[in-house]
Each structure stands twice: as C-alpha cells, then as structure tokens.
Structure 1
Amino acid sequence: MGAEAYSVGDLQSALNAFQYAASKGHAIAQWKLGKMYASGDGVPEDDYMAFQMFSRIADQHADDNPYTPSARVVADAFVNLATYYKNGIAKAGIKPDVGRAVDLFTHAATYFGDASAQYNLARIYLDGDGVQPDPGRAARWLSLAARKNHVAAQATLGQMLIYGDGVRPMPEKGYMWLLVARENAGPEDRDWILALDHRASQILTPEQKTAAAGLAEKWLTKGTE
C-alpha cells in the first residue's frame, strides 16, 4: 500500500503505511522510511530518524540470505548507516566513528558483496580517513566494485593504475578502466571522468591507448577482461 501510494505522489498515505509496516519489522519499509528522512522526501529531513531506521535493519537483518531480493535493501542500509558513523550526526550528538563505519562497510562488502560498500572502503583506505592509508587494499576493493560496474570505482582504479598511485603501474589496464567508466557514466559523473580521461590521454602513448581501447571494448561487449 505504501509503495502504491508513493508511486502516485500520495506521500502522507505512503508514510502512514511505511510506518506501520516498519513497526512490524518490515525491512523494506524501514529502508524506505530511512531514505525519506535522509532526503526530506515527504517528511522533514531528519538524519537521526534515518539513522534509527537503518540501525534497525542492521540489527535485525545482518545475517539474512544474501541472495534474496531484499538483500540489496539490507546492504544499502548498512552503507547508509556506515556513512552516518563515518561523518557523524552533529545535531544528534553522534560523533564520527570511523572504526564502526569500516566494520559496517566491510560486512556489506563481504557478506552481501555490495559494490557501493566496496567503493567506500576503498576511499577510506585511499584517503587515510581515520585509518592507516593502504593503497594496495584500496585497489583490491576498487577492483571488486569495478567488476560490478560501479562507475566511480572503475574511474578511481583506472587513475591508480595509470599513474602507479601506491600500486604497480599498469597503464593499459588503467586506461581501460577509465574508458569503461566513461562509457558507463551518467550525467552526475561524466565531467570528472572526462577530465581524468583527458589528463591520462596526454601522457599515454598511441600504442597504450590502442591496447586499452581493445581491452575496454572486450569488457563492454563480453563483461570480461
């Protein structure tokens, strides 16, 4: 009922239905409420309420079967909850806790195989955000996310491999990932990925770019390297 009301723009009826279902432990309703509160969609924006919804899912569904349709919702709840822990919620008195964020991202990344969690872990280890920087570990997480067609992971991994940022340089493979990311990018990612592509194309040889283009075409047509 909530989903139907939401689809036709009746946000109050949707909210009522979601709240009722969420109170009965329905994970998808809890997740939808969390997203609504996080973005102020039909309700006043309230990060703490969103935090509570995502926390309930993490507490009650951490060990759900990762191959069920609802698993993607549970994994996304973990990612959202981890992001709140990483950044904190000042108005609610919740201080940043990067250690807890890493634990939550790791569970979503490993148990559920979530690409967004894998990318977020990579960024933490790349930036040294509350942890010891570890480019090698970051590259491994980026590779997993890139293979799931996570565009930002593809572009970031490509940049690392082209320039050897903390890893062994692999220019052809790196540029392949940049080309794949450019092809997959939506409007929100296109500009920064095109900027990376332009910069890289200035330093690579024609032979390297030709080899990378062949690898990218193979990936895009067959999903393999």
Structure 2
Amino acid sequence: MTLGLAMAVAAPAAGPAFAFDQQEGAVAEPQQNVRSLFKFGFSAYKSGNKDEAFRAYRDAAEHGHAGARWKLAHMYAAGDGVAENDYEAFKLFQGIVREGAAPGSQESTFVANALVSIANYMRRGIPGSPVRANPDQARNLYWQAAADFGDPNAQFELGRMFLEGEGGPSDARQAARWFNLAAGKGHVGAQAMLGQMLFERGQSVRGLSMMTAALERAEPADRAWIRQIQEEAFAVATESDRRTAMVLAEELKAQ
C-alpha cells in the first residue's frame, strides 16, 4: 500500500467538532463527556477491567480524543484486552497523525509516538492487510518524528536505518548524529549503538564503556543484542582498556 502519510502529516485535519460555550472558558457538555469517558477507561484499565476500558476508549476515540485513540491503538497492537489487530492499530495511529497537535502540547507526544508506530509498520508491512513494506516511507516518518518532535525512539530507529542503508543510502555520520541525540535523552539502544561505532573507530575505552553501561540499564527485550555487541568488543579489547572501560561505565551509570 502506497500510503499518503506524508500528506496526512503535512496537512492535519481540523479538530473534533465539539464547540465551546459562548462564555469564555466554559466547555460544552459533549467535550466534558469525552474527557469523562477517557478517565473512566483509564481507571478501568488500571483496575484490570480491560473490556470496560476498551469500550470507553473506543467511544472517546470515536469523538476525537487523541489519548483514547492512542491507548486503543496500543491495545490492538499488543492484543491487550482485545484481539490483536495491527491494521486496526495502524488506522488509529493514522487518525492521531492526521489530527495533529500544537508543538509542546500533551497531544504532540501522541502524534510523535503514532508516527513512530506507523513507521514501524511501514518498515515491515502488515500481513493480510493493504499495508505493504515501504522502508523509504518508514525512514521519512522516523525523520519527521525525530526532527519535528525530538522523539528518541524515532532518532534511534533513524540512526539504524542510516547505518544499515535501509530505506535509502547509508550514512554513518547521520547515523552517529541521531544516535547521539537519542543517547543524550537516555535511550539505551542508542547509547549501545553509538558505543559500538566509537569502538570500531578506535575509541576503544569510551565505546566499550558506553556499551557496558547500556547493557546494565537495558530492559530484557534489548539485553540480548546489546550483550552480543558488548561481548564482541570486550573480547578484542586489551586488558588495560577493559579495566578502564569498566571504571568509566560505572561513572556513566551513576549519571
């Protein structure tokens, strides 16, 4: 599927059609109801009542609540309280992006995350749906989330695509730039990748220390691949560099 996502991002649609009362600051009842639905869904989810949460999020999402769309999309993507359906998640993420958000607003976080989620789907496609793999489009979407919203996950994925030449030409300098930006925001994967790049360019101590610190901080889902690159570097480093890197890694972890 050749999606016009760049179109959807560049020209967001108008917001939901809930009006404000004539008196300044008075919010019309429909908007209050939508917020109440979202809050009810949030409470139900936290209590483990995911069926009720799903229904509340669905109703709030149908009336344009960005947070409800975002929660509902992730429930579909993970099969969390509802049958897993990546295409339904994809369409909900699209709706968030089309809606847009003012820079710095809470909704801008939803838009950035939705861009990354759509890019993830575009990168590999969704079997059994019209969404076909399109790495070029995925790279463009990561770029938008990384550059316009400063999203560290987008910066990390964009760095990987530049490093591997996925969705366009490879560019190690661009890869390092995006890894560095994400690493500065605490993204463990970016810290590990930047460390590997530094190690391969002869900065053995700094590179190994960054990979080691990243391994200590990593979540279980990332630990295996970070351990692999850290152990490969550790195996070829000199004993002196290893000892120095371990000390520096402790300092990095403490920061």
TM-score by length of 1: 0.88
Does 2:67 correspond to 1:34?
no
In 2, Cα distance between equivalents of 1:12 and 1:220: 41
In 2, Cα distance between equivalents of 1:130 and 1:111: 20
TM-score by length of 2: 0.78
CA deviation vs aligned residue, 1:84-115 (integer Å, no higher than 9, x gap): 12212231122222232122111211222111
1:216 to 238, 245, 249: 249
How many residues are aligned here? 216
Q: In the TM superposition, what are the counterparts of 1:5-154 in structure 2 within 5 Å?
A: 5-61=44-100, 63-66=101-104, 68-154=105-191
Structure 1 residue 195, shift from structure 2 partner: 2.9
- The answer for unaligned runs of 5 or more in structure 2 is 1-39
Identity of aligned residues (%): 39
Question: Counterpart of 1:202 in 2: which secondary structure?
Answer: helix
Structure 1 residue 69, shift from structure 2 partner: 3.8
In 2, Cα distance between equivalents of 1:100 and 1:192: 26
Greater C-alpha radius of gyration = 2
Does 2:230 correspond to 1:181?
no
Structure number with greater CO (CA < 8 Å, separation at least 6) is: 2
In 2, Cα distance between equivalents of 1:183 and 1:11: 34
Answer with 18-27 or 204-213: which moved more.
204-213
In 2, Cα distance between equivalents of 1:198 and 1:49: 40
